């Protein structure tokens, strides 16, 4: 799971759900075109989160 560096509320939610920060950060850059034809460039920085699953959590899902 990844959460944006600028989204502290989402990070707190994921941590309450059992995810833990890894200290690993990822930067993604991409271009996109708006409906009016304007070209935009975006850069997103995310922190990767992990959640340890128990074996019975996985086996219940089949």
Global pTM value = 0.67
Q: What's residue 60's pLDDT?
A: 61
Q: How confident is the model at residue 6 (pLDDT cuts 50, 70, 90)?
A: very high
> What is the rounded distance in angstroms from the CA atom of residue 50 to the CA atom of residue 43?
23
Q: What's residue 24's pLDDT?
A: 96
Residue 57 has pLDDT above 80, yes or no: no
- For the stretch 16-56, pLDDT in tens is 999 999 999 999 999 999 999 999 999 999 999 999 988 77
Q: What's residue 43's pLDDT?
A: 96
Which residues is 43 bridged to in the sheet? 29
> What is the rounded distance in angstroms from the CA atom of residue 2 to the CA atom of residue 11?
9
| Whole-Å CA distances, 7 to 11, 44, 45, 54 | 6, 11, 10, 28
């Amino acid at each position: 799971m990844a959460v944006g560096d600028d989204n502290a509320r989402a990070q707190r939610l994921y941590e309450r759900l059992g995810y833990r920060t890894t200290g690993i950060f990822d930067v993604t850059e991409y271009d996109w075109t708006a409906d009016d034809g304007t070209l935009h460039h975006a850069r997103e920085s995310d922190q990767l989160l992990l959640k340890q699953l128990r074996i019975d959590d996985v086996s219940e899902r089949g």
